[in-house]
Structure 1
Amino acid sequence: MPDALLIGISARIYHPGEPVADTSGIFTKTLHYLEQSVAHWVLRRGVLPMMIPAIESEGLIRPGEVRLTDYARHLDALVLQGGNDVAPQTYGEEPLHPDWSGDRVRDRYEIGLFRAFVAAGKPVLGICRGCQLINVALGGTLYQDIATQVPEAIAHRDLVRYDQQFHPVNLVPDSRLAQLYDGTTRAEINSIHHQAIKTLGKDLAIEALGVPDGIVEAVRWRGPSYVFGMQWHPEFMAQRQFHPGQLDGEPILQDFLDAARERKHRTSNN
């Protein structure tokens, strides 16, 4: 597929626990991995998803000759997948609990990726943690734990039900997200997060709010390139047969891919 869209997907990172046993087992290694459901959600005719390995000069990972800006130059768009918490230090706070310390190595890597793709004018889509990362990269902050800091909020995560946890959201009227769904104002989404946007990053607009608690569920950048983040997981679509009222992720993906194609076409014609 010579004209295929090349969609980069940020890596999840597994860090070996401490102390690391003196063996050659896989769990003594730092792992970069891509969740299959995300890859399959993006994968289709004319689209090739690929994981971008983390590269940084601090922490566990040592840089090679390749820079993150090289990926932004050669790839057509970026998906920031879900995973571990964003570290509170990344947005100027200290963890309120040791379990919420997050992953600063991944934060630095993904913020670097985000800035490289935005600087190149390439579309960026954030899923769950990816939505939060976009907000933090643009100067916003997060609730470290919704249940603790917003006690009146509904449950946004159930470790037993996991991807079968749902709640309604209101789509902001006249937003791009509402337009993708023919003016729909309310829908149901899956919910697998205990952190959420507290203060908005620079030039971000809210496009969906949780019902009834008003937790921010989707944001879009008002800058010159495509940047959209959602708290839900559109890649978990197999469950639609069991929960048909869930918001279909296909219009969001098509809008993102259309933006990537338009950007690629404009660049190739210059």
Structure 2
Amino acid sequence: MTSPRSDQRLKIGLSACFSHADPYRPLFTNKTLQYVEQTIAHWIMSAGAMVVMVPCPTGETALGDVTLSHYAEWLDGVVMHGGADVWPGSYGEEPLKDAWLGDRIRDLYDLAVVEAFEQVGKPIFGVCRGLQLINVAFGGTLYQDIETQHPGAQQHRDPITYDQHFHDIEIVPNTRLARMYPEMGQVKVNSIHHQGIKQIAPGFDIEAWSYPDGVPEAIRRHPTQGHGYIAATQWHPEFRAHDGSILDARPILDDFLLACERAKVQPLPGHSPFQIRDRASRLLRRALLRQR
């Protein structure tokens, strides 16, 4: 069987993680690093798609005129990466602890990425932090810390076992996720987070809850006319259990990539999630200019 040519393959953007300038770091001393974790890139590539990191185009070393909008117009969809906490100020709250300050600059970058892809009607998929960021971008809120703010919460993050820490979820019947996993109402997934959705964003449905404590674990935008594909999971579908006991993530990836294929053929009109076009990009640029 002949492999597809590169110009026939989907081009999927992957949002960047940030390691901010650090004068004590022995390598790339005092330089800002933007990077991806290889497992999620390999997961997307496992279905034959090409992965392109979407770097932040503004900052103290910025040159040229490339913008996030250029990436959104060129690529077929984007995956919002996991990583640092979301800054509570991004959803209108004061941090309850210094440890939960998150990364405001990365929030502004991620919001600008979501904005750029949403404005051109390209599919968006979020993982862990990506789910939380999407929820905030469209008007939802978060628990700053599930275990201290959600009554009866189980442990959702274990720093020792990390991606081998699991809990069950219940898939909501009659949702798209339920149709992707027929007759699989309760399944096991990894759990690597301490923040989570408190109030779901308007226009989104919850497709899975953690069991037994009921924290949202998967969301999807209503399939209303004129809106593009947005879905997200709180767990990391790219990570696997050593014993193979957790939910097979391939249907989730195939669903997203199918949406990307459809958007290439029949693109949907774009919308700004912030009412004012390119508002998040302007806020990001302003914040980074102030750092100079």
TM-score (normalizing by structure 2): 0.85
Alignment partner of 1:8 is 2:13: yes
Question: Which residue of structure 1 aligns with residue 149 of structure 2?
Answer: 149
Supply the distance in 2 between the matched residues of 1:12 and 1:99 (Cα, whole angstroms).
19
Report the Cα offset of residue 16 of structure 1.
2.8
Helix, strand or coil at the partner of 2:83: coil
Structure 2: any 5+ residue segments left out of the alignment?
1-5, 268-292
Question: Which residue of structure 1 aligns with residue 34 of structure 2?
Answer: 32
Q: Measured at CA, do residues 67 and 166 of structure 1 come closer, stay the same or move farther in structure 2, by a change above 3 Å?
A: same
Give the partner amino acid of 2:245: G
Highest RCO, 1 vs 2 (Cα 8 Å, sep ≥ 6): 2
Helix, strand or coil at the partner of 2:8: coil
Cα deviation per residue 1:3-40 (whole Å; 9 max; x = unaligned)?
Answer: 110000000000134xx25x983242110001000100
Question: Which residue of structure 1 aligns with residue 238 of structure 2?
Answer: 235
Report the Cα offset of residue 184 of structure 1.
2.1
Report the Cα offset of residue 161 of structure 1.
0.9
Report the Cα offset of residue 183 of structure 1.
4.0
Question: Which residue of structure 1 aligns with residue 174 of structure 2?
Answer: 174
Q: CA RMSD in A?
A: 1.7
Report the Cα offset of residue 47 of structure 1.
1.1
Q: Measured at CA, do residues 5 and 147 of structure 1 come closer, stay the same or move farther in structure 2, by a change above 3 Å?
A: same
TM-score (normalizing by structure 1): 0.91
Helix, strand or coil at the partner of 2:131: helix
Alignment partner of 1:112 is 2:112: yes
Which runs of at least 4 in structure 1 moved beyond 3 Å after TM superposition?
A: 60-64
Supply the distance in 2 between the matched residues of 1:27 and 1:12 (Cα, whole angstroms).
17
Supply the distance in 2 between the matched residues of 1:165 and 1:24 (Cα, whole angstroms).
32
Alignment partner of 1:247 is 2:247: yes
Alignment partner of 1:55 is 2:60: no
CA contact (8 A) 1:135 1:197 kept: yes
Corresponding pairs, count: 259
Alignment partner of 1:165 is 2:184: no
| Identical-residue share of aligned pairs (%) | 46
Report the Cα offset of residue 266 of structure 1.
2.5
CA contact (8 A) 2:219 2:232 kept: yes
Q: Measured at CA, do residues 172 and 27 of structure 1 come closer, stay the same or move farther in structure 2, by a change above 3 Å?
A: farther
